[in-house]
Amino acid sequence: MSNPAPLPTEQLIVNGVSFSHDDFHQVVEDFYGRVQQDAELSIPFLSVHDWPDHIRRLTHFWWIRFGGRPYMFAEYNPVAKHYYAGFNANLLERWLGLFEATLTDRLQPDQAALWIMIAKRIGFALTAKDEAFRHAMENKS
């Protein structure tokens, strides 16, 4: 049985900085609106056909990543998905730049600073995992 979805005002506190569930939702929705308008990032994201579902999944991803209670069934398989989406260092830099701009526009400076630091850390880890996945795929045949 899954937990009920949090109210938009439900708060999480990370390193002394608080975020409401609505902060996650607003940032994710705004960010993927920008991604769809972006000349380079929009291309890998053509694989997304159900944007409301993507936004729900990614809002939940960030909520649980920041320590919130899971409230929907969502299994994430980011390494394989990013590999097949054509993830690379240039796209990551662009992704992070657009994400930082969204955070700065939407949130308080302390919230934006903490979140971009965590996103960069995930991006760095994803780069290493993407390389390992690529090697495994190339050595398969």
DSSP string, 92-112: HHHHHHHHHHHHHHHS-HHHH
Q: Which is nearer to ligand HEM, 7 or 124 (CB)?
A: 124
Contact between 44 and ligand HEM (CB under 6 A)? yes
Distances (CA, A) of 77 to 2, 49, 128: 20, 17, 15
17 sits near ligand HEM (criterion: CB under 6 A): no
Query: Smallest distance from the beta carbon of 81 to ligand HEM, in angstroms?
Result: 4
Q: Which of 61, 64, 71, 129 binds ligand HEM (CB under 6 A)?
A: 61
| 7/97 with CB nearer ligand HEM | 97
Cβ atoms 70, 2 nearer than 8 A? yes
